[in-house]
Structure 1
Amino acid sequence: MDKFMTAAQAAELIRDGDTVGLMGGGGGLMEATHMFEAVQARFLATQSPRNLTVMHALGIGDKKTKGMNCFAHEGLVKRVIGGHWVWSPAMQQLALDNKIEAYILPGGVSSQLMREIGAGRPGLITHVGLGTVCDPRHGGGKMNDAAQENLADVITMDGREWLRYKPFPIQVAIVRASAADEEGNISFEHEAANLDAQSLALAARNSGGKVIVQVKERLPKGSLKAREVRIPAAWVDAIVVDPEQQTSYAIPFDPAFSGELTGAARLAAEVADHAAEVAAAAEAFGERQAVARRAAVELFNTGKARPVINYGVGVPDAVAKLIAARNEQHRIYQTIEHGTYGGTLMDGVLFGYARNATAMLDAATQFDFYGGGGLDIAFLGFGEFDEEGSVNVSRLGGITVGPGGFIDIAQNAKKVVFCGTFAAKGVKLATGDGQMRVLQQGGVRKLVKQVDQITFSGPQGLVRGQQVLYLTERASFRLTPEGVELFELAPGIDLQRDVLDQMEFQPRIAADLQVMAGEFFNAAL
């Protein structure tokens, strides 16, 4: 049977009410764009398929028309279980208006749950999510009033609490890859990551569903070496060839992103990348760079000669750029949750991409490594944090944001350094001369009495024995059994006016309150 067909024909395989698994990352990373658009076109023309449940582990889209935006039509979806939502404002609006049932799951949990579904096991049993919004005692993953079902149960084994994320059949998987041979064997050779393609295909195949794979090229039988095949033909039902498939929305193809450069070509690319990193680190000095300098100190205070690290989005981007500009990558093992090791990390719309990576694993395997304790330190952003040290990044201003890999990473790193600005909306600061001064206080407080939603649980962090820091341009805090403690002030900052009066809770004040080094705030250094 010929498995090759048009995108329109493959879209016809989706029935009303199906559960559809999608994959991809922001910027078009491993996104089956052509297939997504075909599903949208069919719905707009025929009003079918309808009432889909859609599951995705990471953020997919461009904040405009691509990715999850193709599915953001009332009637097309009834339920979305998404790891990260910001790439589709239209889907966020449907959730806000209760036009769909909106749920979140940690990105790693989603990838691993797909694998468990495919293996026929009783869901995913894990500690990840305990004490957070995914815990049924704190929301059960529900993000709006239309969502009524808890996605996880609390169970006890050997005297210890765990979450069991419930399995469900996946009727259709829409997967992206590089090439397919005539038999239907699938290769990821030219992709910038593996993500959860294999886990998702496995889940649909063993749920009795359909596996649709979008590829860039069709190869003759026997063209692929056995070790190049990541999804065997036995799992595949339909293959759609899109010759216009790109590495990202903006990049047609770059072998540096797929890790294919070797020898002199790779060395030349790495030299060019380093020059770009130095230039990026030299961006106009401000509070982001000041926080990054302070945060970078923690990187080499983990007790490990070469720690395994993860960088999140936001201010942590500046930490990554700083370490790269200092040419200190050889002192760390750099990872990102998408499954990539080493290389030059991209940011912004290309977060999740890395140029000239040293290794690429499946996302589920990467999260296994994190969940088992392999991550020494993580630099993550924060939307707000409270007196218990809990952090919210998943719902801000009532809008569903989702955690992406944040929960999996924050809960499992031995040391977590949350980096961000002290306040938001209208803040005016002055720095660069060795001090930090607040010219205008912000209209939105980020250090609150109680976070709107728990994406990282401070109390659970204490139970796990994690070292947790909260670094801002004005002050540094740490998690203690007695609550959040202020232990450092930036030079030029008034403790009462600029810090305590701008918080909704009273932190503990360290007996040996320190002043941060002026070099963190000196643009000339």
Structure 2
Amino acid sequence: MQKVAVLTARQAADLVDDRDVVTVSSSSALGCPDAVLAGLGQRFAETGHPRSLTSVHPIAAGDMYGVLGIDHIAQPGMLHRVVAGSYPSGPSSAEPPRIWQMITGGEVEAYNFPSGVVYQMHRAAASHQPGVFTQVGIDTFVDPRQQGGRMNDATPAENVELAEIKGEEWLFFPSIVPNVAIIRATTADEHGNLTFEDEGSPLGALDLAYAAHNNGGIVIAQVKRLAEEGSLHPQEVRVPGILVDAVVLAADQLQTTLTQNDPAISGQLRRPLSVLPPVAFSLEKIMARRAACELHAGEIVNLGFGVSALVPHVLLEEGQGREISWVIEQGAVGGVPLLDFAFGCSQNPDAIMPSIDQFTLLQGGGFDRSLLSFLEIDRDGSVNVHYLPKRRHVTAGVGGFADITTAAPEIVFIGSFTAGRRDIGIDGGRLEIRADGPHTKFVERVAQVTFSGKQALARGQKVTYITERAVLRLTPDGLMVTEVAPGVDLQRDVLDRSDFPLLVAEEIKTMDPSLFSPERLGLVLDRAPLHPRLQRQATAHPANPAVAAR
């Protein structure tokens, strides 16, 4: 077996030719091969090459400030096209990342496709299949009858087609065939075998490597350290050296945007959950508390970025932190999903799966419910989470949102009822809306559809919308208000703040006042029912403690 080439980042950049398709494994800073991307940017600054690249990112590469990742190669002339599940989201108060400036300025062709689908486009390429047939994205902005995933007018209407198979509508995404795969691991041995012991997830490294290697391309791996040949345990090798052409050493690579290495994220240490700081009392925490009340002990629950990420920490405070098995698209199963810049990782995970395999679970609906955020909701119950016309750079794109919501049995969307400057207080277990936000999030039509309410009804999904002032459910007749917060005037604060008529439940309830007090709720989750076959077993053997414990 040949020894792998060990190169500097600048030397590795010379392996990339003009007009190459370059696929990158990362999730923001998690797993980001930033040194190699910086080397590419350095070569372009020195020589004007490589030019006219197509860059592919199943999940975003880089941070929200444009310091890491894709912004190294987001240069006119260098970057021709981007296909990504998500993009670095920039703060509204600062200059957006350079990639967003290129997208909004029409300087690059840009597509936003569901992350799980983008991973599967690689897997299809690796096995020389023409592409991916999926119902993920039907009746959303990814559908060619809407935007087709196009992010600006410079982007051609291609790369996704509508097909009918046995009377059902499907979307077809052609395979992505990369010339170069840039991946990241922790350790490489002298033959290029890769282990991921310090990583929060292997993400899609193996499938991206397969896609490039099987099509005559080249695979570049950035790692922290080099090990002697034969010294890595074969069970721990996630990408075999037969796929790796070059290794770049980057001893200081970040585990996430802010962490060099946290062993509790990578599964090398189980840290006491008591070290996680409590969540400050706020409107966001109130919404997370109400969402927690939708859960049952023993469930498998998916979690998205935003307010919903607070829910595991609410349960932790309530002594229920181990009752839910959380699954997040980056690959962590179990543990406690982390917040802010560490989102995508979990402390004390039970397992860390490749992201593409996690999407097999999510696209197949193999979980009980999902907790997600929203930007806008319309009269059909459709949700926009990826697009704000006046502030496009503050959104990350669809990510795994469409993969998750297509088959989720139950979905809970969490967010504030209005947007903009507002003065809403909490006093004595009551909500006080002293000055409301000027912009409602309940609009006649969302700017773009990320989740289709019509499709959800057709699939029989249960959909709930939780805000600080009301809880709503999706019904065949429209959105129905089922609960209002104590202190809230239903007509003035809810019905009149929606751009479309809302239904009101006959027996409308008041949200539990204890949600609006900083003290613990005393929440104890009801246990989810057993699988029907286990119920049958428990009935037949009521004294079996192993069954009863489930």
Smaller-chain TM-score bracket: over 0.9
Where 2:51 maps in the other structure, the secondary structure is: coil
Partner of 2:377: 385
CA distance in 1, matches of 2:59, 2:316: 26
Say yes or no: does 1:71 pair with 2:73: yes
Where 2:210 maps in the other structure, the secondary structure is: helix
Partner of 1:358: 350
Partner of 1:500: 495
Partner of 2:156: 148
Partner of 1:417: 412
Give the counterpart letter for 1:84 in structure 2.
S
**Aligned match for 1:247, one of 252, 255, 265:** 255
Give the counterpart letter for 1:54 in structure 2.
S
1:39-58 deviations in whole A, cap 9, x for unaligned?
A: 11111121211111111111
Partner of 1:339: 331
Partner of 1:477: 472
Q: Cα distance, 1:500 vs. partner?
A: 1.9
1:255-294 deviations in whole A, cap 9, x for unaligned?
A: 2221122xxxx3xx2x2xx2233x322x1x2211111111
Where 2:81 maps in the other structure, the secondary structure is: strand
Partner of 1:108: 116
Q: Tell me if the contact between 1:379 and 1:418 (Cα under 8 Å) persists in the aligned partners.
A: yes
Structure 1 window deviating more from structure 2 (156-165 vs 37-46): it is: 156-165
Percentage of identical aligned residues: 38
Q: Cα distance, 1:192 vs. partner?
A: 1.2
Where 1:367 maps in the other structure, the secondary structure is: helix
Say yes or no: does 1:376 pair with 2:368: yes
Q: Tell me if the contact between 1:418 and 1:469 (Cα under 8 Å) persists in the aligned partners.
A: yes
Where 1:447 maps in the other structure, the secondary structure is: coil
Q: Tell me if the contact between 1:139 and 1:150 (Cα under 8 Å) persists in the aligned partners.
A: no
Partner of 1:520: 515
CA distance in 2, matches of 1:75, 1:237: 27
Say yes or no: does 1:53 pair with 2:54: yes
Say yes or no: does 1:438 pair with 2:433: yes
Give the counterpart letter for 2:416 in structure 1.
T
CA distance in 1, matches of 2:489, 2:42: 58
Q: Cα distance, 1:414 vs. partner?
A: 0.8
Structure 1 window deviating more from structure 2 (307-316 vs 250-259): it is: 250-259
Structure 2, unpaired ranges of 5+? 91-96, 521-550
Q: Cα distance, 1:4 vs. partner?
A: 1.6
Partner of 2:192: 184
**Aligned match for 1:123, one of 127, 131, 145:** 131
Where 2:266 maps in the other structure, the secondary structure is: coil
Give the counterpart letter for 2:471 in structure 1.
S
**Aligned match for 2:300, one of 300, 304, 308:** 308
Q: Cα distance, 1:479 vs. partner?
A: 0.8
Q: Cα distance, 1:164 vs. partner?
A: 1.3
Give the counterpart letter for 2:58 in structure 1.
A
1:455-483 deviations in whole A, cap 9, x for unaligned?
A: 01101111111100111011111111112
Partner of 2:33: 32
Partner of 2:288: 292
Q: Tell me if the contact between 1:131 and 1:457 (Cα under 8 Å) persists in the aligned partners.
A: yes
Q: Tell me if the contact between 2:326 and 2:336 (Cα under 8 Å) persists in the aligned partners.
A: no
Partner of 1:22: 24
Partner of 2:442: 447
Q: Tell me if the contact between 1:83 and 1:403 (Cα under 8 Å) persists in the aligned partners.
A: yes
Partner of 2:535: none
CA distance in 2, matches of 1:394, 1:56: 16
Q: Cα distance, 1:190 vs. partner?
A: 2.1
Say yes or no: does 1:13 pair with 2:9: no
Residue pairs, 1:399-414, within 5 angstroms = 399=392, 401=395, 402-414=397-409
Partner of 1:466: 461
Where 2:103 maps in the other structure, the secondary structure is: helix
Give the counterpart letter for 1:58 in structure 2.
I
Where 2:229 maps in the other structure, the secondary structure is: coil
Partner of 2:268: 260
Calculate the TM-score normalised by the size of structure 2: 0.90
Q: Cα distance, 1:72 vs. partner?
A: 1.9
1:416-462 deviations in whole A, cap 9, x for unaligned?
A: 00000111111210114211121112122211000001101101111
Q: Cα distance, 1:158 vs. partner?
A: 2.2
**Aligned match for 2:201, one of 176, 193, 215:** 193
Q: Tell me if the contact between 1:61 and 1:87 (Cα under 8 Å) persists in the aligned partners.
A: no
Q: Tell me if the contact between 1:178 and 1:189 (Cα under 8 Å) persists in the aligned partners.
A: yes
1:135-181 deviations in whole A, cap 9, x for unaligned?
A: 11121111110111232112222222211111132111100011111
Partner of 1:326: 318
Partner of 1:488: 483
Q: Which runs of 4+ in 1 moved over 4 A?
A: none
Structure 1 window deviating more from structure 2 (363-372 vs 251-260): it is: 251-260
Q: Tell me if the contact between 1:68 and 1:87 (Cα under 8 Å) persists in the aligned partners.
A: no
Q: Tell me if the contact between 1:134 and 1:151 (Cα under 8 Å) persists in the aligned partners.
A: no
Q: Tell me if the contact between 2:257 and 2:342 (Cα under 8 Å) persists in the aligned partners.
A: no
CA distance in 1, matches of 2:75, 2:315: 43
CA distance in 1, matches of 2:439, 2:216: 49
Q: Tell me if the contact between 2:335 and 2:346 (Cα under 8 Å) persists in the aligned partners.
A: yes
Aligned-residue CA RMSD (Å): 1.5
CA distance in 2, matches of 1:389, 1:445: 15
CA distance in 2, matches of 1:229, 1:105: 30
1:196-222 deviations in whole A, cap 9, x for unaligned?
A: 111111111122211111111111111
